[in-house]
Every structure is written in C-alpha cells, then in structure tokens.
A = this chain, B = another copy of it.
C-alpha cells in the first residue's frame, strides 16, 4: 500500500455537492483537486484548483484529465463503462470499474448481492410485457417496477397495484430494461456508511436511519434504533459487499428493516459506490467525516476513527426552497448549516443540509 503524499492531485468525476465536499476535505490535507464535469458552473469547480468541463464521453479530455492526476474517484455511480475504461489505463480509479458496473445496473446489483447470500427484496428481470405478467404472478401485488439504469430519488420507478395496467407502467418508463421488485413491508429504512482501505481494513459508521419525503432523503438520524441482530446483519452485509468488490473508498448500503416472528432482519435495497447523503452528518458528528475518510482510503492512507463526537446526530436536507430558511438556521444554537453554492433553488434540488449533533 503506497500512501499518496500531500501535494498529489485527486481527480473527481462529477462536480456536484458530493464532489465539492470531497474537494474541501482533500484541501484540508494539502491535496490538489481536479474536477471533471460536463455542467457549466458545477458547485465543485469553485473549490478546486483545476477543473475540466467536458462530456463523459470526450476521450481526449478524459485522457488529459487522467494524465494530470494521481488518482481518480467519482461522486456518482453512472460513470459510463467506457469512461471508466479510458481512465483505468491511465490512473488508478478508486473505487474501481467493477463497483460502477454492478451498482449502475439494478439487475446486476441485485444478482451480485443475492449471490453473496445477502437477502434482498424478491426481484425479476423485466424486458417485455410477458416478463412483467409472469413476474407479477410470482411476486404478487403491489410491486415496484424500476429501470435498471439511471434511477435516483424515485425517478425511473412505478408502483403497480392490483388491477393496474402493467403495460402502462412499462410504457411510462419508456420500455427501458427494468426489474420488478416484490413489495417489502419494511418498518424502517437504514443505511450503512462505511469505508474500506487499500489494505482491506473495513470501518463502518454508526447505522443511519433515513426518512424520505417525495422519494428524496429528508432526515437521517444516528444511531438508528434497530435490534443488535439487525445491526449485525447490516454491518455484515456491507462488509461482504465491500470485500467482494475489493472496494477502496466510502460506500453506502441502503437496507430495509423487516420484522417477523424471529425479530428484526434486513434486506439490502441499494448500494452506492460513493460518499452518500445519509453520511453527511459525519462532518460534525464523527471524528472523521465520510469525505475525509474517502480521501484517506483512495490515497492509501490508514482510515480515521469513525467514533461519534457526541451521542448521535440528525441531518436534515434542504431541498428546493427549504434553503430560504438559511437565516433562521444560522441563528439556531447547535445547528451546523451547509450550503452547496448552487445558484438556483429548483424544486427537488438538494441545496444544502443542516446537522445537529446530540
């Protein structure tokens, strides 16, 4: 394991708030940052010494970018496979191309998780109307149709209830390759935010409990209130996923908590191969923030402590015009306000967050 020295350059694919917060954490230890993103005025550009504004399929720009940095990481899982391939030949890509290939396709992800013996919601691959009818007969109603690719914050999803027209649901998703997931009567949604170092060290933060509003994360509370056995299952699932991917960096595993006669247990819902919104509380709530931890991992540094700084924390997203409350939050004792420097507060847009440490 070689530690990248301070003064090295970290390349980040993606210029949103996650890239911005990784860049801020990297600057604290004297790393240089080079952001690659296609959007003009990306929030991360402003806190980085260099940026490249180019499309993710611009082979020349990618080659130049990879040649100018010491390691490349990403803030989103939809990095095209070809982009990852172009970079991998020129600079270390951490986490790797395999993590991208698996997590950007819901079917591959579900098969991967199930293949590790980790429970998930029941699912079927859907490529046609015939598939969906067969699957509904097997899984029952209600069920959730999800596109295999490019879904986030509830986009690319449709609930199919008994009596609904499955063809309409498929058409609503543009007949994209999809999966059908059986209904899971979960009691809570939780996530494991964890890091795996280059030497295989695995450290997970306290479990996060996540509440959504309009399919977008609203509030994360830490520590999540779950049974010790559910907690063990969740941590074990995250550990096995990270190990199987030979993962380097921070990842998040979202899980459902379900209750049966045997008590609480968990099902893996989704893997995010990156820092995650449900880990934002770690900036003040943990000894090492998820952003600093990600930088440590991808630079080959030993991982930092994931201990809580208090007894817990809550993180509330500021979505769209929630951000208008900034002045009230700035005056609230104990509230840590974070804003991402986005110029326009569109509905559903993540503008910032507030952390309150208990």
What residue in chain B is nearest A299 (Cβ atoms)? B330
A326 touching B6 in the complex, CB below 8 Å, given contacts A32-B341, A331-B302, A339-B30: yes
Q: Is the CB of A305 within 8 A of B326?
A: no
Tell yes or no: A11 within 8 A of B by CB.
Answer: no
- Expressed in whole angstroms, the Cα–Cα distance for A6 and B354 within the complex equals 14
Segment among A44-52, A96-104, A209-217, A249-257 that sits at the interface with chain B: A44-52
Map CB proximity to B onto A297-327 as digits: 1 under 8 Å, 0 otherwise.
Answer: 0000110010001000000000000010011
What residue in chain B is nearest A28 (Cβ atoms)? B338
A49 touching B46 in the complex, CB below 8 Å, given contacts A28-B24, A331-B302: yes
Q: Is the CB of B24 within 8 A of A339?
A: no
A352 touching B305 in the complex, CB below 8 Å, given contacts A296-B330, A334-B287: no
What residue in chain B is nearest A335 (Cβ atoms)? B304
The 3 residue pairs across chains A and B that have the minimum distance between CB atoms: A30-B339, A46-B49, A30-B341
What residue in chain B is nearest A310 (Cβ atoms)? B309
What residue in chain B is nearest A329 (Cβ atoms)? B29
A3 touching B305 in the complex, CB below 8 Å, given contacts A28-B338, A341-B30: no
Residues of B within 8 A of A32 (CB): 46, 341
Query: Copy number of this protein in the oligomer?
Result: 2
Tell yes or no: A258 within 8 A of B by CB.
Answer: no
Tell yes or no: A183 within 8 A of B by CB.
Answer: no
- Expressed in whole angstroms, the Cα–Cα distance for A352 and B7 within the complex equals 12
What residue in chain B is nearest A41 (Cβ atoms)? B49
Query: From residue A247, how far is it (CB to closest CB) to chain B in Å?
Result: 20
Among A47, A326, A338: residue with most chain B CB under 10 A: A47
- Expressed in whole angstroms, the Cα–Cα distance for A30 and B45 within the complex equals 13
What residue in chain B is nearest A332 (Cβ atoms)? B302
Query: From residue A23, how far is it (CB to closest CB) to chain B in Å?
Result: 8
Among A23, A28, A333: residue with most chain B CB under 10 A: A28
Q: Is the CB of B48 within 8 A of A3?
A: no
Tell which of B305, B326, B331 touches A334, judged by Cβ atoms closer than 8 Å.
B305
- Expressed in whole angstroms, the Cα–Cα distance for A287 and B355 within the complex equals 12
Query: From residue A303, how far is it (CB to closest CB) to chain B in Å?
Result: 10
- Expressed in whole angstroms, the Cα–Cα distance for A24 and B49 within the complex equals 13
What residue in chain B is nearest A50 (Cβ atoms)? B46
